[in-house]
Structure formats: structure tokens, C-alpha cells
A = this chain, B = another copy of it.
């Protein structure tokens, strides 16, 4: 039972049959074709040779099939994680050099180890501290950086960089663009955009199903790769200065030695944590969304283990940091993948590609890969999310914009750090000013509502304050202050009731505050009562002396409190 928890394959393999196998095989075939341009593009984005994109897919997909808890997630090179990889290593080393490639292996292994350890120690909850607005702000800004970074390749300029300043600087000092490269790149991009928007039109004319349309859209990059590769090859455009992928080593990924220099690991440790966590946050929400459609469950800690093992496998076989990919996972699901075996079959497909078909990639223009990256990245920019968040919550919007601006201005790592720190501070600020309301009785009922919002019955010698938050150290003093203010304003008050319907927990500072309120009210000749205290909170209070010190009573409900206190006054 325990073993099965760690190896989800032991669960799904028991009911595996021919029908499932055929479904998985069909899905694997389509995903393999889709993955080829993605794997090559994101390798270039990560500053790695194109073929390593294939390596970073094969072993990880096999390993993920063993350990991953999602049945349809397809792992491999992904846009944001590749950008972060380039940013982390590019600060120290020159892309394409042996040192850079070795550092990428080390980064993948380290990042995988961190995820694996987080999974084993069940620390998946740490990912919860990255809020959605921070992720959205970060993704949008990253996509802008990714798109801007691909413009030189698309236009045939030789410029590299992962932040706006170095990119702008590079463009200023670059020569004029190569017209043929530009035509190919822009042409590839227009083809993909046409597939995206034209596919619906074609579908309506040909009466295709929705699934077929979405598949057509997703296969746009494959078509662009095929068309532009054939064009370069037939017209000999490489002699006109069009950068091509060139000779790709043929063969399967093999075990690669990791760097032995400890300094490499030390320098990249911080980046490894960020890359791992960001990759995980993206993957887990994808996996959960897809799993829910079949009422399946994703265990976040098992997902950490699966993704961690996949990254380790990537590093040891010549790859770089990876995560779950959204587009490919959705295709995998849509075309009917039923178990992680589909992922393993995709790995076999990619192995065949990397063994037999790499010569076909010789004439593939880099501008086409840049175009596929730009089109993919553009879908990560979500202006609607900014608009909605602005309407819904100003603090969340602030965190979102700060993360985006931070990422653009300070780079991906500082950007996300700024966002996370700010969102945690804003959360703490919010909990430090909890909502609470003076309440009165709704006439003819046992309910009590805010005296500022409703026409309710109150008694001059009783104040009831309803606290709409747990009593924690961040808000304990706020409540003390609120009670003091209320009593100071109303000299005729004899009873103070704290209504605890929404108090889910009390910490030691909260308890101290209750003690302080009790003492201060006693000194002011006001009796202090609690009402509607929840079971777990009452259990906790009973372990202390507070209930013995309490000058008043603990009432089962607010109604009972007012009944009792008004009768005693008569």
C-alpha cells in the first residue's frame, strides 16, 4: 500500500489492456510530432544546442511515467523554465560553451533534487505561498522577455540577452537585419497565427469537430517547421545568411558526467530552488485541472517527486531543467491518452527521432524556432487577468504589477522574489486589520447583524463585537484597541460580549489579548463575556487559566447571551 503511494504505476498498470494501449499509442504519436519543434526551440531559448531539447524530453518522460501522479501531464522543455535557465547560467557563463552546457546539467539535477526532497518531506504546501497574481505577473513579464529575446533570431540579428537593457543595447550595436531570415521568420509566424485564427473558419466550412480544430491549431508550428525547412533546403537559403540548426549529432541521449567543481553548484543553488518551484507551480495546476475532468486526484507531494525525478533524469542524460508543458498536455488529454504509458511511448517516439531523423533537421531555420517561441509565449501574456484583478482586489493587483515590473526591470529571479515578499506582506497587513462589527439583534429572530448595516435592537448596557477573523498575533492588538475604544465611548456599558462565530483559532498572543481585555474591562467595571465559541477553540481555552479569570461567562450562542444579560439587568 505504502509502495503504491510512491509508484503510481503500480496502480494504473494493473488494469492496462490492449484498448488502453492503442489509445495511448495514438496520443503518443501526435504528441511526439508536436514536441519536436517545442523541444528544439526551448533548447535554444535555454542557451543550449537544439538537440539537447530532445534529450531533455526522452529520459524525463520515461521517469515521469514511473513516478508522476498525473496520467496525462507531458513533461519536457518549457518556455519560462528555459528562460530562467538562460538567465541563471548566462550571468556567469557564455551560452553554447562546454562550461555552460555542464552548468545546465548541474542545474537540472540540483533543481530535481530539491523538488524530490520537498516531495519526500511533504513540503508541497510551500508552493502555496506564491499567489496567483504573482504567478500571472511573472508569467506575463517572462513572456515579454522571451518574445523580445527572440526578435534578433527572427530578424536575423546576432544579439543575446535575458533582460531588456542588454537586448536593447545589443540591437543598437547590431548590423542591419538579414532580409531572407526576416521573411522566413515572419512568414512562419504568420502561418501559425493563420492556423490559430483560420482553423476555426476552415473547421466551420469542413464541419470538423472542436477537437480536430484545436489539434489543427496546435500543429501549426509543425507545419511551419516542415514548410520553412523544405524552403531552405530547396532554395539553398543557408548561403544567403539564414541561420540554420545545422548538423545535429545522431544517437540516443547517454549518461553525461556532471561538473565536479563545487562552486558551480553553490552559485546556482538559489536559481535551482526558484526554477524548481516555478516549474512545479505551473505543472501542478495543469495536472489538477486535467485530472479533475476524470474525477482523478493529484497528490502535490507525489507530483514533486515525479517532477524532481524527471529533472534529475534530464540532467544526467545531457538535458536541462524542465517542467510540465501546457499545450502538449492538453493535446495529450484531448487525443485520448489514458495512462502515463502514453508519455513513455512519446519518449520512445522522440528516441526514434533523435536516432534516425536528426539529419532532416539540418536545414531547419532558427528563425522558425524563434517564431514558434514567440507565438507560444504570446499566450502567456494575460491582459485580461490584470484587468480582472484590478476590479477584484487592489492589493492583489499591486502584487501582480510589482512582480511584472520587477521581473522586467530586475530579471526573473529578483522579480519573483519581490512579488512573493510583497504578497506575503500584504496578506499579513490584511490579517492585521480584521473585519469586526458591533452587532445587534434582528427584530423577531435569533440572528445578530452589524448595527451599521441593519436596523437592529441594541441595549445601552451591553456591547457585542463580532470578530470576523481568527485571533492571531497580527491582529490581537487591533482587537484590544477596538475594545478599549468602544468602552471609552460608552460610559454606561456594563457588559462586553465578544461574538466568536468566525474565530477559527486563537494563538498565544490572542490568548494574552483576551486576558488583557478581561483585566482592563474588570478595572473599568465592565464584565467580559464570550459567545458562540467554536468547539476546537473552546478545547484550547480549557487548557488555560483564562476561563477561571474571565469575569463573565461563555454563552453557547449570542442569543442566549443577550437573553441572559437583559434578564439579569431587569
Contact = CB atoms under 8 A, between A and B. Distances in A.
Interface of A: 125, 127-133, 284-285, 288-289, 291-298, 300, 388-389, 391-393, 395-397, 400, 423-424, 427-435, 453, 468-470, 472-478, 480-481, 484-485, 487-488, 491, 501-502, 504-505, 507-509, 511-512, 516, 519-521, 523-524, 534-536, 540, 543-545
A508 B473 contact: no
Contact of A488 (B295, B393, B423, B535): B295
Nearest to A450: B535
A306 B423 CA distance: 32
Contacts of A509: 131-133, 396
A423 B473 contact: yes
A276 to B, nearest CB: 17
A513 to B, nearest CB: 8
Given A125-B432, A291-B484, A504 B469 contact: yes
Copies of this chain held together in the complex: 2
Given A478-B128, A487-B295, A520 B289 contact: yes
Contacts of A481: 288, 297-298, 300
Given A288-B520, A298-B484, 10 more contacts: A128-B473, A131-B507, A131-B509, A288-B516, A292-B516, A293-B524, A392-B543, A430-B472, A430-B505, A469-B470
Contacts of A433: 125
Contact of A512 (B132, B453, B536): B132
List of 8 A-B pairs having minimum Cβ-Cβ separation, nearest first: A292-B520, A131-B473, A396-B508, A132-B509, A293-B523, A468-B504, A295-B524, A131-B509
A414 to B, nearest CB: 20
Nearest to A449: B535
Contact of A435 (B129, B536, B540): B536
A522 to B, nearest CB: 9
A545 B388 CA distance: 9
Contacts of A431: 427, 431
